[in-house]
Amino acid sequence: MLYQYVACGESGDIVKGKISATSENAIAEMLGVAGYRLINLRPYVPFLSLGKLAAQLFPVKETEVIMLYRQMSLLLESGINIVTSLELLQEQITNRTLTKVVYDVISDIRNGDQLSTAMSRHPDVFSTMACRTLSIGEQTGGLETMLKQVADHMEKEMATRKGIKGALMYPMIAAVVTVVVVGVLMFFVLPAFADLYGSLGAELPALTQMMISLSVVLRTYGLHIFLIIFIVIGLGLIYFRTSDGKYKFDTLILRVPMLGRVRHLNEIARFCRSISLLYAAGLPLTEIMPLVIQGCNNRVMAQALYNVQSDMLKGEGLSKPMAKNPLFLPMMVQMVKVGEETGTLDTSLLAVSQNYENEAQDKTKSLIAMIQPVMTLVIAGVVGLIAVSMVSAMYSMYGQTSF
What does the pLDDT look like over 137-176, one tens digit per residue? 888 778 888 899 888 888 888 887 777 777 677 778 878 8
- DSSP class per residue in 244-306: HHHHHHHHHHHHSTTHHHHHHHHHHHHHHHHHHHHHHHT--HHHHHHHHHHH-S-HHHHHHHH
Which strand ranges, in their side-by-side order, compose the sheet holding 2-9? 14-20, 2-9, 36-43
Q: Is the pLDDT of residue 131 over 60?
A: yes
For the segment 72-89, the average pLDDT, to the nearest whole number, is: 90
Tell me the C-alpha distance between 295 and 318, whole Å: 18
For residue 388, count CB atoms less than 10 angstroms from its CB and return exposed for 0-12, middle for 13-18, buried for 19 or more.
middle
Range in 51-60, 224-233, 369-378 with the lowest mean pLDDT = 51-60
- 317 inside domain: yes
Within this chain, do residues 181 and 305 fall inside the same structural domain, yes or no? Answer: yes
- The string of pLDDT tens digits covering residues 365-394 is 887 778 778 878 888 888 788 888 777 777
- 136 inside domain: no
- The string of pLDDT tens digits covering residues 202-222 is 677 788 788 888 888 888 888
Within this chain, do residues 250 and 285 fall inside the same structural domain, yes or no? Answer: yes
Tell me the C-alpha distance between 371 and 140, whole Å: 49
pLDDT band (50, 70, 90) for residue 403: very low
Q: Would you say 317 and 339 are in contact if contact means Cβ atoms under 8 Å apart?
A: no
Within this chain, do residues 96 and 211 fall inside the same structural domain, yes or no? Answer: no
Amino acid at position 361, single letter: Q
pLDDT band (50, 70, 90) for residue 102: very high
Task: Tell me the residue range of the domain where 12 lies.
Answer: 1-44
Amino acid at position 69, single letter: Y
For the segment 56-77, the average pLDDT, to the nearest whole number, is: 86
Q: Would you say 35 and 10 are in contact if contact means Cβ atoms under 8 Å apart?
A: yes
Domain stop point among 82, 111, 126: 126
- 241 inside domain: yes
- 138 inside domain: no
Q: Which one is predicted more confidently, 364 or 80?
A: 80
Q: What is the pTM of this model?
A: 0.67
Q: Is the pLDDT of residue 231 over 90?
A: yes
Within this chain, do residues 215 and 359 fall inside the same structural domain, yes or no? Answer: yes
Q: What is the pLDDT of residue 68?
A: 92
- 146 inside domain: no
Domain count, the chain: 3
Q: Which one is predicted more confidently, 302 or 2?
A: 302
Q: Is the pLDDT of residue 311 over 50?
A: yes
Within this chain, do residues 38 and 106 fall inside the same structural domain, yes or no? Answer: no
Q: Is the pLDDT of residue 352 over 80?
A: yes
Within this chain, do residues 249 and 390 fall inside the same structural domain, yes or no? Answer: yes
Mean pLDDT of the chain: 82
Residue 94 to residues 90, 102, 196, 244, 369, Cα–Cα distance (Å)? 9, 12, 62, 41, 38
- 17 inside domain: yes
Within this chain, do residues 93 and 225 fall inside the same structural domain, yes or no? Answer: no
For the segment 288-298, the average pLDDT, to the nearest whole number, is: 83
Within this chain, do residues 384 and 296 fall inside the same structural domain, yes or no? Answer: yes
Q: Would you say 70 and 151 are in contact if contact means Cβ atoms under 8 Å apart?
A: yes
Q: Would you say 355 and 331 are in contact if contact means Cβ atoms under 8 Å apart?
A: yes
Within this chain, do residues 310 and 187 fall inside the same structural domain, yes or no? Answer: yes
Within this chain, do residues 328 and 263 fall inside the same structural domain, yes or no? Answer: yes
Residue of 135, 93, 148, 402 lying closest to 283 (CA atoms):
135
For the segment 238-248, the average pLDDT, to the nearest whole number, is: 86
Residue 336 to residues 37, 122, 308, Cα–Cα distance (Å)? 26, 33, 13
Q: Would you say 125 and 91 are in contact if contact means Cβ atoms under 8 Å apart?
A: no
Q: Is the pLDDT of residue 282 over 70?
A: yes
Q: Which one is predicted more confidently, 178 or 51?
A: 178
